[in-house]
Structure 1
Amino acid sequence: MADHLGSCLCGAVRFEVKGDFDSFYLCHCHHCQKDTGSAHAANLFSHSAKLTWVAGKESVAAFTLPGTRHSKSFCKLCGSALPNTQVEGLLVIPAGCLDTEITMLPTAHIFSSSKAAWDGKAGEVPVFEGLSE
């Protein structure tokens, strides 16, 4: 039985993860901002968990930014972030691609010196349960 299940936005790629996560980082580096199109990336890391592609493995692509260790995996059909195994012995799971609940809290914010200026003000804006009209 899998500890976690996940998928891409279009559902073509599905996977399961067996094992525990070691850490959960919110990374504010410029690479992660560009990579996600947001203020930060939210990734879970494990040195021991095992990834199994349940469906759509042929739709998984990977990109490593030349001259860096920054890499990502994604669905070729919808572009959704997917688990990354580019660094040997390390599984990186984008938190948003999991379909099962994550029970651990983030371990830390990292590269906070690169934090987007508007990110710190997010707590000051109105909150809606759905799309505001």
Structure 2
Amino acid sequence: MKLTSRGRYAVTAILDIALYGKSKPVSLADISERQAISLSYLEQLFGQLRREGIVSSVRGPGGGYQLDKAVSDISVGMVVNAVNENLDVTKCKGNGNCNNESRCLTHSLWERLEDQIADFLYTISIEELVSEHLERQR
């Protein structure tokens, strides 16, 4: 299983706002520059993050995005799910037709792994990632 850039970039951008947006909204251009993520890609991601209530936008001069929830209430799993990241680890994409229209011998193993990954991502808060980052900076 490989988490695509969609999920990784969304988590990175939310972490950037958590770090730099404590006192004011953060522009996507600033996130783009700091994190080397395409501005147009961020615009797509933030439309989804806004619809899911993770961020809100502030218009006008000095505008940008801010977190709509406390960092302790936002999990990595929420962010990944908000941008429709597919965590499927089965060969058949969960359809159960991985072996000539029937389930392969290891299908249930991969489904259980997928559940474990999703559960794990929901246990990690953005607050934890901020703390880890700040600790590494010391």
Do both proteins adopt the same fold according to a TM-score greater than 0.5, normalized to the shorter chain? no
Give the TM-score normalised by the residue count of structure 1: 0.26
Query: More strand per residue: 1 or 2?
Result: 1
Larger relative helix fraction: 2
Answer with 1 or 2: which has the greater Rg: 2
